[in-house]
Chain A
Amino acid sequence: MSEAAPNRTMRGKTAIAGLGSTPYYKRGQSYPQTLEELVSKAILGAVDDAGLKVEDIDGFAYFAGGFDTGFLMEMLGIPEVSFSASITGTGGGSAGAIGLAAAAVISGMAETVVCVGANQQGAQRFGSITSSYPATPENAFFGTTGLVGPGHMFALLARRHMHLYGTRREHFAEVAMSTRINALTNPDAIMRKPLTLDDYFAAPMIADPHCLFDFCLETDGAIAVIVTTAERARDLKRKPVKVLSSTHGGSRDWGRSIYWMNMPDETFASSGHASIARRLYADAGLGPEDVDCAQIYDHFSSQVLMQLEDYGFCPRGESGPFVSDGAIRYDGGVIPVNTDGGQLSAGYVWGMTHVREAVEQLRGTAINQVKGAEVALVTGGPSTLPISGLLLGV
């Protein structure tokens, strides 16, 4: 795909003007609040943060199926909307929903668009979510094998990566440990105890080679952001965070990925993000060397490694040694990753914690502030297409 001409890209035309978040709750502990209540609290927080009124909202951009726009309008007293759309797929769209909102604003379909992600894990844990899917002819080809959760499925990619490139569990451990260090200083983080290599290897194995600490948390919470024109954002309460580029979709070589498992060998042991990254950088006119911090969808530690490769922070197959050299540490790393403690140690809100942390970094208000951060990468969850990426800047 050729690079789009700058005037055809969304580069810098819109900005995130407001950010709202509920606390992060351990799985099920957000009750008796309802899911829509959590979503609404995040939205109200975001409009307040921006210095807007909830009545100003005229659009919703979702991912992973989204929420009930009519019910949210009814509940919050939003008089009229002119845009309501969702990126399909699962957590893969979390970064791309910001681009969907930007597209709505640039096209003139709406001016003040909310992106919101939320989850509340009660009856159905995400850890076994694939076992809750309705029986279909397609999922008969994986559901019968006892692959009941994404952690089982991504373990198959992780082992292939180990086989092809010599990646070791110590490399997965470094992702878990460096992320935990970032969580220690974050008052909103769920996991606030240090994690040592001994702790990691003493943890129960869940789906070999994935042990307990390779899995993200199962938490409840909601996060919302407000996207509007860059021009309007300048006049609002907070420092605008510009949307430099946002891409969603992906390559047929990745396709349904973990539900297909017939990706070509060179794509199989990856995150599927190579084509997303290529377009994301091209649209922004930037490269990996320009990124000051990366908020990388960490449902599984092994997938952080593979995204580091797909986003060009290190060559294919070299992410293990790359992280072992301290490359993703907040303190001294060449590319600090998941500076809030990520989904592995802070909280899991289907990728929206990563959007939140990127905004904090670029506002200069992050707990673990990367000095002089001007460009932040956010990725959506590697999973069935569409998947997505986002570059934000000051």
Chain B
Amino acid sequence: MDSRIAKPPPAGLVNLSMDAWTAPFWEAAARHELNLPRCADCGSYRMPPTPFCPHCRSQNIAWVAFDGAAALYSYTIVERAIIPGSEDSIPYVPAIVEFQGAGGVRLITNIIDCEIGRLEVGIPVDLRWIDLENGSALPAFTIETADNK
């Protein structure tokens, strides 16, 4: 089994550009809260947050605090630093997680702090946060264990 621990992604890549529609997501993230955009009219979730609900075209969003319960939808293990200077981050694990409790919307994220060999599509994963130097934070996930549940 691959017992290496999944590392956080290279910090140098983070440039959190935001607009009026995405800022609430990142502002909540800085507080370690995962808020997901839900249409205030038809109730559909969407990711990423955009100015219109693709189902009913409403512009009303209700930001819903979400507990982060997720399933690992897919992942890749980055084994080579394509960007110079990111060698210390290898291996890191970009992933997609799916929120069954929020209409099945998915978040592009990272798996961190767990043994790579235990990763498997479909397993439940728990929310963690990667704190950044500028005070913002990125949602990330790790494998659920009895210890960290």
Contacts and interface: CB of A to CB of B under 8 A. Distances in A.
A205 B18 contact: no
Given A135-B15, A138-B48, A140-B26, A145 B79 contact: no
19 contacts: A137-B18, A140-B26, A144-B13, A144-B138, A145-B94, A145-B109, A146-B9, A147-B108, A148-B82, A152-B78, A156-B74, A156-B96, A159-B75, A159-B121, A160-B73, A160-B121, A205-B79, A207-B76, A207-B77
Interface of A: 125, 127-128, 131, 135-149, 152, 155-157, 159-160, 163, 204-210, 252, 261-262
Nearest to B21: A137
A261 B83 contact: no
B9 A145 contact: yes
Given A144-B16, A207-B78, A261 B110 contact: no
Given A145-B9, A207-B78, A261-B96, A140 B18 contact: yes
A95 B77 CA distance: 32
Interface of B: 9-10, 13-19, 21-22, 26, 46-48, 54, 73-80, 82-83, 86, 89, 92, 94-96, 105-110, 121-122, 138
Contacts of A127: 82
Contacts of A152: 76, 78, 94
Contacts of A140: 15-18, 22, 26
Nearest to A262: B106
Contact of B74 (A131, A148, A157, A262): A157
Contacts of A210: 76
A258 to B, nearest CB: 9
A206 B26 contact: no
B112 to A, nearest CB: 11
A141 B9 contact: no
Contacts of B80: 204-207
A207 B79 contact: yes
A259 to B, nearest CB: 9
Nearest to A154: B76
Contact of B105 (A163, A207, A209, A262): A262
Contact of B17 (A137, A146, A157): A137
B1 to A, nearest CB: 14
Nearest to A131: B83
A208 B77 contact: yes
A206 B79 contact: yes
A160 B48 contact: no
Nearest to B120: A163
A149 B82 contact: yes
A144 B75 contact: no
B100 to A, nearest CB: 12
A261 B76 contact: no
A205 B77 contact: yes
A163 B76 CA distance: 13
Given A144-B13, A145-B110, A262-B106, A159 B94 contact: no
B9 A204 contact: no
A146 B130 CA distance: 13
A252 B54 CA distance: 10
A98 to B, nearest CB: 32
B83 A148 contact: yes
Contact of B13 (A143, A163, A207): A143
Contacts of A261: 96, 106, 108
A156 B96 CA distance: 8
Residue of A135, A149, A157, A262 ringed by the most chain B CB atoms within 10 A: A262
A-B complex: 3 closest residue pairs judged by Cβ atoms: A146-B9, A155-B76, A135-B15
Nearest to B122: A163
Contacts of B9: 144-146
B75 to A, nearest CB: 6
Given A131-B13, A140-B18, A146 B78 contact: yes
A206 B15 CA distance: 24
A119 B93 CA distance: 30
